[in-house]
Structure 1
Amino acid sequence: MVKTWSAILLGTIINVNCLAQFSPPGLGEANTASWFAIGMKQHLNETKTVTSATHLGLGRISNPDAYNPFEKSSIYVVNEEVTHQFRKNWKYSAALSYRWQNKYKDTPPYDLDTPNARQELRIYSRFSYLNSLNKMDYSFSYRPELRFFYDPDFSAATKNTQFRSRFRAKAAFNLNALETHKISTTAEAMFSTTRTNSWSTFEYQEIRFCLYYSITFPKQKLTFNLGYMNDLIGKDSITDVHYFAFDIMINHPFSI
Protein backbone atom coordinates (compact mmCIF):
# COMPACT_ATOMS: atom_id res chain seq x y z
CA MET A 1 0.00 0.00 0.00
CA VAL A 2 2.81 2.43 0.88
CA LYS A 3 4.53 1.66 -2.44
CA THR A 4 1.28 2.36 -4.30
CA TRP A 5 0.78 5.71 -2.56
CA SER A 6 4.40 6.66 -3.22
CA ALA A 7 4.10 5.81 -6.90
CA ILE A 8 0.95 7.91 -7.25
CA LEU A 9 2.49 10.80 -5.32
CA LEU A 10 5.61 10.85 -7.50
CA GLY A 11 3.67 10.19 -10.69
CA THR A 12 1.39 13.18 -10.27
CA ILE A 13 4.22 15.70 -9.51
CA ILE A 14 1.66 18.39 -9.02
CA ASN A 15 0.66 22.17 -8.46
CA VAL A 16 -0.17 25.08 -10.65
CA ASN A 17 0.77 28.72 -10.48
CA CYS A 18 -2.77 30.10 -10.73
CA LEU A 19 -4.99 27.13 -9.96
CA ALA A 20 -8.27 28.39 -8.54
CA GLN A 21 -10.04 25.69 -6.58
CA PHE A 22 -10.67 25.28 -2.87
CA SER A 23 -10.14 21.60 -2.09
CA PRO A 24 -12.53 19.96 0.39
CA PRO A 25 -11.54 19.82 4.06
CA GLY A 26 -11.39 16.41 5.71
CA LEU A 27 -14.73 15.61 7.34
CA GLY A 28 -13.68 12.51 9.25
CA GLU A 29 -14.93 8.95 8.89
CA ALA A 30 -17.92 8.76 6.52
CA ASN A 31 -18.80 6.98 3.29
CA THR A 32 -19.43 10.00 1.08
CA ALA A 33 -19.33 13.78 1.46
CA SER A 34 -20.02 16.93 -0.54
CA TRP A 35 -18.33 20.33 -0.54
CA PHE A 36 -19.33 23.73 -1.95
CA ALA A 37 -17.32 26.96 -1.73
CA ILE A 38 -17.36 30.44 -3.17
CA GLY A 39 -14.29 32.62 -3.05
CA MET A 40 -12.36 35.55 -4.45
CA LYS A 41 -8.74 36.08 -5.46
CA GLN A 42 -7.36 39.62 -5.69
CA HIS A 43 -3.89 40.98 -6.47
CA LEU A 44 -2.76 43.37 -3.73
CA ASN A 45 0.12 45.12 -5.52
CA GLU A 46 0.93 46.43 -9.00
CA THR A 47 3.51 43.72 -9.74
CA LYS A 48 0.86 41.08 -8.96
CA THR A 49 3.25 39.18 -6.68
CA VAL A 50 1.03 39.48 -3.56
CA THR A 51 -2.42 37.90 -3.74
CA SER A 52 -5.30 37.50 -1.30
CA ALA A 53 -7.60 34.46 -1.50
CA THR A 54 -10.77 34.39 0.60
CA HIS A 55 -13.43 31.70 0.58
CA LEU A 56 -16.57 30.59 2.38
CA GLY A 57 -17.42 26.90 2.27
CA LEU A 58 -19.79 24.29 3.61
CA GLY A 59 -19.67 20.51 3.65
CA ARG A 60 -22.21 17.73 4.14
CA ILE A 61 -21.76 14.00 4.86
CA SER A 62 -23.63 10.72 4.60
CA ASN A 63 -24.68 8.56 7.53
CA PRO A 64 -22.24 5.72 8.29
CA ASP A 65 -24.69 3.14 6.91
CA ALA A 66 -25.67 5.12 3.77
CA TYR A 67 -24.10 6.86 0.77
CA ASN A 68 -26.04 10.12 0.36
CA PRO A 69 -23.31 12.84 0.38
CA PHE A 70 -25.93 15.52 1.17
CA GLU A 71 -27.50 13.66 4.15
CA LYS A 72 -26.59 16.10 6.93
CA SER A 73 -24.60 19.27 7.51
CA SER A 74 -21.02 18.81 8.65
CA ILE A 75 -18.78 21.88 8.41
CA TYR A 76 -18.77 25.65 7.80
CA VAL A 77 -15.48 27.33 6.85
CA VAL A 78 -14.18 30.91 6.57
CA ASN A 79 -10.63 31.09 5.20
CA GLU A 80 -8.20 33.90 4.31
CA GLU A 81 -4.78 33.32 2.75
CA VAL A 82 -2.23 35.88 1.50
CA THR A 83 0.47 34.67 -0.91
CA HIS A 84 3.75 36.31 -1.94
CA GLN A 85 5.54 35.01 -5.04
CA PHE A 86 9.03 36.36 -4.37
CA ARG A 87 10.83 34.46 -7.15
CA LYS A 88 9.75 33.04 -10.49
CA ASN A 89 9.57 29.52 -9.06
CA TRP A 90 8.99 30.18 -5.36
CA LYS A 91 6.17 31.51 -3.22
CA TYR A 92 5.00 31.42 0.39
CA SER A 93 1.75 32.26 2.13
CA ALA A 94 0.21 32.85 5.55
CA ALA A 95 -3.40 32.07 6.42
CA LEU A 96 -6.07 32.12 9.10
CA SER A 97 -9.13 29.87 9.12
CA TYR A 98 -12.22 29.45 11.31
CA ARG A 99 -14.31 26.25 11.18
CA TRP A 100 -17.47 24.97 12.86
CA GLN A 101 -17.93 21.22 12.53
CA ASN A 102 -20.98 19.31 13.77
CA LYS A 103 -20.36 16.09 15.73
CA TYR A 104 -22.61 13.05 15.41
CA LYS A 105 -22.94 9.81 17.35
CA ASP A 106 -21.54 6.69 15.66
CA THR A 107 -24.59 4.56 16.48
CA PRO A 108 -28.09 4.72 14.88
CA PRO A 109 -29.95 7.00 14.41
CA TYR A 110 -26.71 9.06 14.30
CA ASP A 111 -28.07 12.10 16.11
CA LEU A 112 -25.93 15.03 17.22
CA ASP A 113 -23.43 14.10 19.91
CA THR A 114 -22.64 15.88 23.20
CA PRO A 115 -21.10 18.38 22.72
CA ASN A 116 -22.82 18.78 19.38
CA ALA A 117 -20.00 20.57 17.58
CA ARG A 118 -16.33 21.46 17.55
CA GLN A 119 -14.91 24.89 16.74
CA GLU A 120 -11.48 25.25 15.20
CA LEU A 121 -9.10 28.15 14.78
CA ARG A 122 -6.36 27.26 12.30
CA ILE A 123 -3.14 29.16 11.54
CA TYR A 124 -0.97 27.92 8.70
CA SER A 125 1.67 28.81 6.16
CA ARG A 126 2.62 27.29 2.83
CA PHE A 127 5.94 27.09 0.97
CA SER A 128 5.80 26.13 -2.71
CA TYR A 129 8.12 25.44 -5.62
CA LEU A 130 6.46 26.12 -9.01
CA ASN A 131 7.44 25.14 -12.54
CA SER A 132 5.99 24.07 -15.88
CA LEU A 133 6.69 21.51 -18.60
CA ASN A 134 5.02 21.95 -22.00
CA LYS A 135 1.27 22.11 -21.24
CA MET A 136 1.64 21.04 -17.61
CA ASP A 137 2.09 23.36 -14.63
CA TYR A 138 3.38 21.63 -11.51
CA SER A 139 4.77 22.23 -8.03
CA PHE A 140 5.52 20.79 -4.63
CA SER A 141 4.46 22.41 -1.37
CA TYR A 142 4.87 22.02 2.37
CA ARG A 143 2.18 23.33 4.71
CA PRO A 144 2.72 23.45 8.50
CA GLU A 145 -0.36 24.31 10.53
CA LEU A 146 -1.45 24.83 14.13
CA ARG A 147 -5.02 23.85 14.97
CA PHE A 148 -6.79 24.94 18.18
CA PHE A 149 -10.04 23.12 19.05
CA TYR A 150 -12.91 24.40 21.20
CA ASP A 151 -16.31 23.18 22.33
CA PRO A 152 -19.37 25.25 21.27
CA ASP A 153 -19.05 27.46 24.38
CA PHE A 154 -15.38 28.21 23.49
CA SER A 155 -14.01 26.05 26.32
CA ALA A 156 -11.01 23.96 25.29
CA ALA A 157 -11.89 20.59 23.76
CA THR A 158 -10.44 17.35 25.16
CA LYS A 159 -8.08 17.13 22.19
CA ASN A 160 -7.32 20.84 22.19
CA THR A 161 -4.26 21.46 20.00
CA GLN A 162 -2.70 19.84 16.96
CA PHE A 163 0.42 20.47 14.89
CA ARG A 164 0.11 19.03 11.40
CA SER A 165 2.45 18.87 8.41
CA ARG A 166 1.04 18.50 4.89
CA PHE A 167 3.18 17.52 1.89
CA ARG A 168 1.48 18.07 -1.44
CA ALA A 169 2.23 17.51 -5.10
CA LYS A 170 -0.09 18.99 -7.69
CA ALA A 171 -0.31 19.38 -11.49
CA ALA A 172 -2.59 21.09 -13.99
CA PHE A 173 -2.87 20.28 -17.69
CA ASN A 174 -4.07 22.95 -20.11
CA LEU A 175 -6.69 21.60 -22.52
CA ASN A 176 -6.82 24.56 -24.93
CA ALA A 177 -4.58 27.34 -26.23
CA LEU A 178 -6.30 30.03 -24.16
CA GLU A 179 -5.70 27.95 -21.00
CA THR A 180 -9.32 28.39 -19.93
CA HIS A 181 -9.95 24.64 -19.62
CA LYS A 182 -7.80 22.61 -17.24
CA ILE A 183 -7.58 19.19 -15.67
CA SER A 184 -5.73 19.11 -12.35
CA THR A 185 -4.77 16.44 -9.87
CA THR A 186 -3.21 16.43 -6.40
CA ALA A 187 -1.77 14.05 -3.85
CA GLU A 188 -1.34 15.23 -0.25
CA ALA A 189 0.05 13.26 2.71
CA MET A 190 -0.53 14.42 6.31
CA PHE A 191 1.41 13.84 9.53
CA SER A 192 0.39 15.21 12.93
CA THR A 193 0.75 15.25 16.70
CA THR A 194 -2.18 16.10 19.00
CA ARG A 195 -2.23 17.32 22.59
CA THR A 196 -4.68 16.17 25.24
CA ASN A 197 -2.85 16.13 28.57
CA SER A 198 0.40 15.61 26.66
CA TRP A 199 1.52 15.46 23.03
CA SER A 200 1.01 12.26 21.05
CA THR A 201 3.60 10.74 18.72
CA PHE A 202 4.14 12.67 15.49
CA GLU A 203 3.06 10.22 12.79
CA TYR A 204 1.30 9.66 9.48
CA GLN A 205 -2.50 10.12 9.54
CA GLU A 206 -3.99 10.18 6.03
CA ILE A 207 -3.52 10.84 2.33
CA ARG A 208 -5.87 12.66 -0.06
CA PHE A 209 -6.11 12.43 -3.86
CA CYS A 210 -8.03 15.03 -5.92
CA LEU A 211 -9.08 15.27 -9.57
CA TYR A 212 -10.61 18.53 -10.86
CA TYR A 213 -11.95 20.00 -14.09
CA SER A 214 -11.84 23.81 -14.28
CA ILE A 215 -13.32 26.26 -16.76
CA THR A 216 -12.55 29.99 -16.69
CA PHE A 217 -14.56 32.83 -18.23
CA PRO A 218 -12.03 35.70 -18.50
CA LYS A 219 -14.52 38.48 -19.33
CA GLN A 220 -16.74 37.53 -16.40
CA LYS A 221 -13.67 36.98 -14.18
CA LEU A 222 -15.10 33.64 -13.01
CA THR A 223 -13.76 30.12 -12.67
CA PHE A 224 -15.95 27.07 -12.04
CA ASN A 225 -14.37 23.94 -10.58
CA LEU A 226 -15.91 20.47 -10.43
CA GLY A 227 -13.95 17.84 -8.54
CA TYR A 228 -13.62 14.54 -6.74
CA MET A 229 -11.48 13.73 -3.68
CA ASN A 230 -10.59 10.34 -2.21
CA ASP A 231 -9.51 10.53 1.44
CA LEU A 232 -7.73 7.46 2.84
CA ILE A 233 -7.65 7.76 6.65
CA GLY A 234 -5.43 5.58 8.84
CA LYS A 235 -2.59 3.11 8.36
CA ASP A 236 -3.63 -0.44 9.24
CA SER A 237 -7.43 -0.13 9.19
CA ILE A 238 -8.12 2.37 6.41
CA THR A 239 -11.32 4.41 6.09
CA ASP A 240 -12.08 5.30 2.45
CA VAL A 241 -14.16 8.49 2.04
CA HIS A 242 -15.41 9.82 -1.33
CA TYR A 243 -16.00 13.57 -1.80
CA PHE A 244 -17.85 15.43 -4.55
CA ALA A 245 -16.92 19.10 -4.81
CA PHE A 246 -17.97 22.25 -6.64
CA ASP A 247 -16.69 25.78 -6.16
CA ILE A 248 -16.82 29.20 -7.79
CA MET A 249 -13.86 31.58 -7.90
CA ILE A 250 -14.11 35.33 -8.61
CA ASN A 251 -10.80 36.32 -10.20
CA HIS A 252 -9.29 39.74 -9.40
CA PRO A 253 -12.43 41.89 -9.68
CA PHE A 254 -10.68 45.12 -8.60
CA SER A 255 -8.07 46.97 -10.64
CA ILE A 256 -4.68 47.74 -9.08
Structure 2
Amino acid sequence: MQVKKILFVVVCSISTPVFAQISPPGLGQAHTAEWLAVGIRQDLDSLKKWQSMSYIGVGRKSKPTDYNPLDKSSILVLNQEFYYRLHKHWQSSFAVSYRRQDEYADRYPYEHEDPAFEQEFRAYGRFSYVLENARFKFVPTFRQEFRKFYTPTFTREAESFQLRSRVRLQLTLNLDAAKVHRLIISSEQLFSASKLSASSQWMRLAYHESRFVGYYSLAPKSLPFIFDVGYMANRLGTTSPSYVHYIALDVIWKNPFGHRTTQRTHVGNLE
Protein backbone atom coordinates (compact mmCIF):
# COMPACT_ATOMS: atom_id res chain seq x y z
CA MET A 1 0.00 0.00 0.00
CA GLN A 2 2.82 2.41 0.84
CA VAL A 3 4.48 1.77 -2.54
CA LYS A 4 1.19 2.52 -4.33
CA LYS A 5 0.86 5.83 -2.47
CA ILE A 6 4.39 6.86 -3.43
CA LEU A 7 3.76 5.96 -7.08
CA PHE A 8 0.51 7.94 -7.04
CA VAL A 9 2.28 11.06 -5.73
CA VAL A 10 5.04 10.82 -8.35
CA VAL A 11 2.60 10.29 -11.23
CA CYS A 12 0.48 13.28 -10.13
CA SER A 13 3.51 15.56 -9.91
CA ILE A 14 4.65 14.55 -13.40
CA SER A 15 1.23 14.93 -15.02
CA THR A 16 0.56 18.55 -14.04
CA PRO A 17 1.99 21.79 -15.45
CA VAL A 18 4.64 23.34 -13.23
CA PHE A 19 6.15 26.69 -12.26
CA ALA A 20 8.95 28.24 -10.26
CA GLN A 21 10.50 31.40 -8.96
CA ILE A 22 10.62 34.66 -10.92
CA SER A 23 14.35 35.08 -11.31
CA PRO A 24 16.03 38.50 -11.84
CA PRO A 25 16.56 40.02 -15.28
CA GLY A 26 20.00 41.26 -16.21
CA LEU A 27 20.51 44.89 -15.11
CA GLY A 28 23.87 45.60 -16.74
CA GLN A 29 27.04 46.80 -15.04
CA ALA A 30 26.96 47.16 -11.23
CA HIS A 31 28.36 45.47 -8.13
CA THR A 32 25.08 44.48 -6.50
CA ALA A 33 21.38 44.56 -7.39
CA GLU A 34 18.01 43.66 -5.95
CA TRP A 35 14.85 42.24 -7.56
CA LEU A 36 11.28 42.12 -6.23
CA ALA A 37 8.37 40.52 -8.10
CA VAL A 38 4.71 39.67 -7.46
CA GLY A 39 2.89 37.19 -9.66
CA ILE A 40 -0.40 35.36 -10.22
CA ARG A 41 -0.41 31.73 -11.36
CA GLN A 42 -3.74 30.46 -12.69
CA ASP A 43 -4.90 27.05 -13.97
CA LEU A 44 -6.88 27.57 -17.18
CA ASP A 45 -8.49 24.14 -17.51
CA SER A 46 -9.53 21.30 -15.22
CA LEU A 47 -6.85 18.96 -16.63
CA LYS A 48 -4.17 21.56 -15.84
CA LYS A 49 -2.61 21.32 -19.28
CA TRP A 50 -2.86 25.10 -19.68
CA GLN A 51 -1.67 27.59 -17.09
CA SER A 52 -1.11 31.34 -17.02
CA MET A 53 1.61 33.24 -15.20
CA SER A 54 1.39 37.05 -14.87
CA TYR A 55 3.84 39.15 -12.90
CA ILE A 56 5.14 42.63 -12.27
CA GLY A 57 8.72 43.14 -11.11
CA VAL A 58 11.03 46.00 -10.19
CA GLY A 59 14.80 46.09 -9.84
CA ARG A 60 17.42 48.46 -8.43
CA LYS A 61 21.21 48.37 -8.52
CA SER A 62 24.37 49.90 -7.13
CA LYS A 63 26.81 52.21 -8.84
CA PRO A 64 29.90 50.49 -10.23
CA THR A 65 31.85 52.09 -7.36
CA ASP A 66 29.76 50.97 -4.36
CA TYR A 67 27.74 48.01 -3.06
CA ASN A 68 24.33 49.53 -2.22
CA PRO A 69 21.78 47.50 -4.25
CA LEU A 70 19.05 50.09 -3.60
CA ASP A 71 21.03 53.08 -4.89
CA LYS A 72 19.59 53.46 -8.38
CA SER A 73 16.29 52.53 -10.02
CA SER A 74 16.93 50.08 -12.83
CA ILE A 75 13.97 48.24 -14.36
CA LEU A 76 10.19 47.74 -14.45
CA VAL A 77 8.90 44.49 -15.96
CA LEU A 78 5.36 43.47 -16.96
CA ASN A 79 5.20 39.85 -18.12
CA GLN A 80 2.48 37.46 -19.31
CA GLU A 81 3.27 33.82 -20.07
CA PHE A 82 1.11 30.80 -20.99
CA TYR A 83 2.26 27.22 -20.38
CA TYR A 84 1.07 24.08 -22.13
CA ARG A 85 1.95 20.52 -21.09
CA LEU A 86 2.62 18.54 -24.28
CA HIS A 87 3.51 15.27 -22.58
CA LYS A 88 4.37 14.06 -19.09
CA HIS A 89 8.03 14.96 -19.81
CA TRP A 90 7.61 17.92 -22.18
CA GLN A 91 6.32 21.45 -21.56
CA SER A 92 6.17 24.52 -23.79
CA SER A 93 5.30 28.17 -23.23
CA PHE A 94 4.93 31.47 -25.05
CA ALA A 95 5.04 34.96 -23.58
CA VAL A 96 4.98 38.71 -24.19
CA SER A 97 6.75 41.27 -22.01
CA TYR A 98 7.21 45.02 -21.61
CA ARG A 99 10.33 46.41 -19.91
CA ARG A 100 11.40 49.93 -19.01
CA GLN A 101 15.09 50.02 -18.15
CA ASP A 102 17.07 53.02 -16.87
CA GLU A 103 20.23 53.98 -18.75
CA TYR A 104 23.27 55.37 -16.83
CA ALA A 105 26.62 56.79 -17.91
CA ASP A 106 29.58 54.44 -17.37
CA ARG A 107 31.70 57.25 -15.83
CA TYR A 108 31.46 59.15 -12.55
CA PRO A 109 29.03 60.44 -11.27
CA TYR A 110 27.04 57.72 -13.14
CA GLU A 111 23.96 59.86 -13.76
CA HIS A 112 21.17 59.08 -16.22
CA GLU A 113 22.00 59.09 -19.90
CA ASP A 114 20.03 61.20 -22.36
CA PRO A 115 17.51 59.67 -22.96
CA ALA A 116 17.16 58.42 -19.39
CA PHE A 117 15.62 55.04 -20.14
CA GLU A 118 15.01 52.47 -22.86
CA GLN A 119 11.78 50.65 -23.62
CA GLU A 120 11.67 47.03 -24.73
CA PHE A 121 8.94 44.79 -26.09
CA ARG A 122 9.79 41.12 -25.95
CA ALA A 123 8.20 37.91 -27.24
CA TYR A 124 9.62 34.50 -26.41
CA GLY A 125 8.90 30.80 -26.34
CA ARG A 126 10.51 27.91 -24.52
CA PHE A 127 10.62 24.13 -24.44
CA SER A 128 11.44 22.17 -21.30
CA TYR A 129 12.12 18.50 -20.62
CA VAL A 130 11.05 17.42 -17.12
CA LEU A 131 12.77 14.49 -15.38
CA GLU A 132 11.71 13.94 -11.77
CA ASN A 133 10.97 11.64 -8.86
CA ALA A 134 9.78 12.21 -5.30
CA ARG A 135 13.12 13.78 -4.24
CA PHE A 136 14.30 15.93 -7.13
CA LYS A 137 13.47 17.44 -10.50
CA PHE A 138 15.93 18.10 -13.33
CA VAL A 139 14.79 20.42 -16.15
CA PRO A 140 16.83 21.43 -19.23
CA THR A 141 15.18 24.37 -21.06
CA PHE A 142 15.75 26.11 -24.36
CA ARG A 143 14.30 29.61 -24.74
CA GLN A 144 14.23 31.79 -27.85
CA GLU A 145 13.55 35.53 -27.57
CA PHE A 146 12.75 38.33 -30.01
CA ARG A 147 13.48 41.79 -28.55
CA LYS A 148 12.54 45.20 -29.98
CA PHE A 149 13.96 48.42 -28.43
CA TYR A 150 12.61 51.99 -28.37
CA THR A 151 13.53 55.36 -26.88
CA PRO A 152 11.14 57.00 -24.36
CA THR A 153 9.33 58.66 -27.31
CA PHE A 154 9.06 55.36 -29.25
CA THR A 155 11.66 56.26 -31.83
CA ARG A 156 14.23 53.68 -32.86
CA GLU A 157 17.16 52.87 -30.58
CA ALA A 158 20.70 52.37 -31.90
CA GLU A 159 20.16 48.65 -31.34
CA SER A 160 16.87 48.06 -33.16
CA PHE A 161 16.28 44.29 -32.82
CA GLN A 162 17.87 41.40 -30.99
CA LEU A 163 17.47 37.64 -31.24
CA ARG A 164 18.59 35.91 -28.06
CA SER A 165 18.89 32.19 -27.29
CA ARG A 166 19.06 30.91 -23.71
CA VAL A 167 20.02 27.42 -22.50
CA ARG A 168 19.36 26.54 -18.85
CA LEU A 169 19.91 23.51 -16.62
CA GLN A 170 17.92 23.52 -13.38
CA LEU A 171 17.77 21.17 -10.41
CA THR A 172 15.04 21.31 -7.74
CA LEU A 173 15.53 19.42 -4.46
CA ASN A 174 12.53 18.66 -2.24
CA LEU A 175 13.53 19.11 1.40
CA ASP A 176 10.45 17.40 2.81
CA ALA A 177 7.89 14.83 1.66
CA ALA A 178 5.09 17.43 1.47
CA LYS A 179 7.20 19.63 -0.86
CA VAL A 180 6.69 22.69 1.29
CA HIS A 181 10.43 23.47 1.37
CA ARG A 182 12.64 23.35 -1.73
CA LEU A 183 16.05 24.34 -2.99
CA ILE A 184 16.39 25.39 -6.63
CA ILE A 185 19.71 25.84 -8.42
CA SER A 186 20.32 26.64 -12.07
CA SER A 187 22.91 27.63 -14.63
CA GLU A 188 21.93 29.56 -17.77
CA GLN A 189 23.99 30.72 -20.75
CA LEU A 190 22.80 33.49 -23.09
CA PHE A 191 23.69 33.97 -26.78
CA SER A 192 22.46 36.87 -28.92
CA ALA A 193 22.61 38.51 -32.33
CA SER A 194 21.65 42.16 -32.86
CA LYS A 195 20.60 44.39 -35.74
CA LEU A 196 21.63 48.05 -35.52
CA SER A 197 19.34 50.79 -36.81
CA ALA A 198 22.14 52.21 -39.01
CA SER A 199 22.83 48.91 -40.75
CA SER A 200 20.90 46.32 -42.73
CA GLN A 201 23.21 43.56 -41.50
CA TRP A 202 22.77 41.38 -38.43
CA MET A 203 25.69 40.88 -36.08
CA ARG A 204 26.69 37.25 -35.67
CA LEU A 205 25.28 35.12 -32.87
CA ALA A 206 27.70 35.08 -29.92
CA TYR A 207 27.89 34.22 -26.22
CA HIS A 208 27.46 37.25 -23.92
CA GLU A 209 26.65 36.22 -20.35
CA SER A 210 25.86 33.49 -17.81
CA ARG A 211 23.51 33.46 -14.84
CA PHE A 212 23.97 31.20 -11.80
CA VAL A 213 20.94 31.11 -9.50
CA GLY A 214 20.13 29.60 -6.09
CA TYR A 215 16.70 29.88 -4.42
CA TYR A 216 14.92 28.69 -1.29
CA SER A 217 11.21 28.22 -1.92
CA LEU A 218 8.42 27.98 0.68
CA ALA A 219 4.83 26.95 -0.18
CA PRO A 220 2.75 26.66 3.03
CA LYS A 221 -0.15 24.23 2.67
CA SER A 222 -2.42 26.61 4.57
CA LEU A 223 -1.86 29.53 2.16
CA PRO A 224 -2.35 29.95 -1.61
CA PHE A 225 1.08 31.57 -1.95
CA ILE A 226 4.64 30.59 -2.86
CA PHE A 227 7.47 32.62 -1.30
CA ASP A 228 10.90 32.54 -2.95
CA VAL A 229 14.13 34.16 -1.80
CA GLY A 230 17.37 33.77 -3.68
CA TYR A 231 20.71 34.88 -5.07
CA MET A 232 21.99 35.27 -8.63
CA ALA A 233 25.54 35.78 -9.90
CA ASN A 234 25.45 37.37 -13.35
CA ARG A 235 28.69 36.88 -15.31
CA LEU A 236 29.04 39.53 -18.04
CA GLY A 237 31.48 39.43 -20.94
CA THR A 238 34.06 36.94 -22.17
CA THR A 239 37.70 38.06 -22.22
CA SER A 240 37.54 40.21 -19.04
CA PRO A 241 34.29 39.15 -17.37
CA SER A 242 32.66 41.03 -14.52
CA TYR A 243 30.10 39.81 -11.97
CA VAL A 244 26.94 41.40 -10.58
CA HIS A 245 25.50 39.91 -7.37
CA TYR A 246 21.71 39.94 -6.95
CA ILE A 247 19.40 39.36 -4.02
CA ALA A 248 15.83 38.49 -5.01
CA LEU A 249 12.39 37.97 -3.51
CA ASP A 250 9.13 37.02 -5.16
CA VAL A 251 5.61 36.07 -4.09
CA ILE A 252 3.29 34.01 -6.33
CA TRP A 253 -0.46 33.83 -5.68
CA LYS A 254 -1.86 30.47 -6.79
CA ASN A 255 -5.27 30.24 -8.52
CA PRO A 256 -7.00 33.38 -7.19
CA PHE A 257 -9.81 32.81 -9.74
CA GLY A 258 -10.63 29.19 -8.84
CA HIS A 259 -9.28 25.71 -9.69
CA ARG A 260 -7.37 25.80 -6.42
CA THR A 261 -5.61 22.56 -5.50
CA THR A 262 -3.14 21.46 -2.86
CA GLN A 263 -0.69 20.23 -5.52
CA ARG A 264 2.35 22.47 -6.01
CA THR A 265 5.23 21.85 -8.39
CA HIS A 266 8.04 23.66 -10.20
CA VAL A 267 9.55 23.64 -13.66
CA GLY A 268 11.99 26.49 -14.05
CA ASN A 269 12.62 30.12 -13.44
CA LEU A 270 10.30 32.61 -15.06
CA GLU A 271 12.59 35.49 -16.00
Query: Structure 2: any 5+ residue segments left out of the alignment?
Result: 1-15, 260-271
1:17, 1:130 within 8 Å by CA — same for their partners in 2? no
The alpha carbon displacement at 1:17 in A equals 6.2
Alignment partner of 1:128 is 2:128: yes
Alignment partner of 1:27 is 2:33: no
* TM-score, structure 2 normalization: 0.87
Alignment partner of 1:58 is 2:58: yes
Question: Aligned to 2:240, which of 237, 241, 244?
Answer: 237
Aligned residues: 241
Where 2:86 maps in the other structure, the secondary structure is: strand
Residue aligning to 2:111: 111
Residue aligning to 2:87: 87
Distance of 1:30 and 1:213 partners within structure 2: 24
Distance of 1:253 and 1:173 partners within structure 2: 27
Matches within 5 A, 1:76-225: 76-196=76-196, 197=199, 198-225=201-228
Residues 180-235 of structure 1, C-alpha deviation per residue, up to 9 Å, x if partnerless?
A: 10000010001100110121111111110000001012332001100000010111
* Amino acid of the structure 2 residue aligned with 1:235: T
Where 1:217 maps in the other structure, the secondary structure is: coil
The alpha carbon displacement at 1:19 in A equals 3.9
* Amino acid of the structure 1 residue aligned with 2:219: T
Q: Percent identity between the aligned chains?
A: 39
The alpha carbon displacement at 1:134 in A equals 4.5
The alpha carbon displacement at 1:253 in A equals 2.1
Distance of 1:41 and 1:158 partners within structure 2: 36
Distance of 1:204 and 1:133 partners within structure 2: 33
Question: Which of these two proteins has the greater Rg computed from alpha carbons?
Answer: 2
* TM-score, structure 1 normalization: 0.92
The alpha carbon displacement at 1:173 in A equals 0.4
Distance of 1:102 and 1:162 partners within structure 2: 18
Distance of 2:90 and 2:222 partners within structure 1: 29
The alpha carbon displacement at 1:106 in A equals 1.2
Distance of 1:34 and 1:255 partners within structure 2: 32
The alpha carbon displacement at 1:252 in A equals 1.5
Distance of 1:133 and 1:224 partners within structure 2: 23
1:17, 1:137 within 8 Å by CA — same for their partners in 2? no
